[in-house]
Amino acid sequence: MSEKKLHVLSWRKVVKALNKRGFVVLRQRGSHISMASADGKRRTIIPRHDEIKPGTLLDIIQQAGLTKEEFIELVD
């Protein structure tokens, strides 16, 4: 079984994927977007960059309480 890898993504794709999982935008300040889960238990900050690197994506995924595989499915 081959493992899918994270690639560089835009902030728009990350926000769209998290929206599918029930996250909502709380606010935007400067170049960062604050998002929270519908129940308010999880929060994450998305840098508003055209390219978000895999290491940063892993941090966002962890803060959102997702696995890498779950996140990749949301993006696809």
Query: Can you give the pLDDT at residue 68?
Result: 94
Instruction: Give the pLDDT score at 4.
Output: 75
- pLDDT value of position 52: 96
Predicted confidence at residue 25, as pLDDT, reads 97
Q: What angle do CA 59, 74, 62 make, to 5 degrees?
A: 20
CATH class of 11-75: alpha beta
φ/ψ (deg, to 5) at 72: -60, -40
Query: What pLDDT score does 18 carry?
Result: 97
Average pLDDT of adjacent 10-residue blocks, the chain of 76 residues: 76 97 95 96 96 95 96 92
Nearest residue to 49 via CA among 74, 14, 22, 17: 14
Coil/strand/helix, residue 56: helix
Q: What's the predicted TM-score (pTM) here?
A: 0.89
- Crossing angle (nearest 10°) for helices 68-75 and 54-63: 110
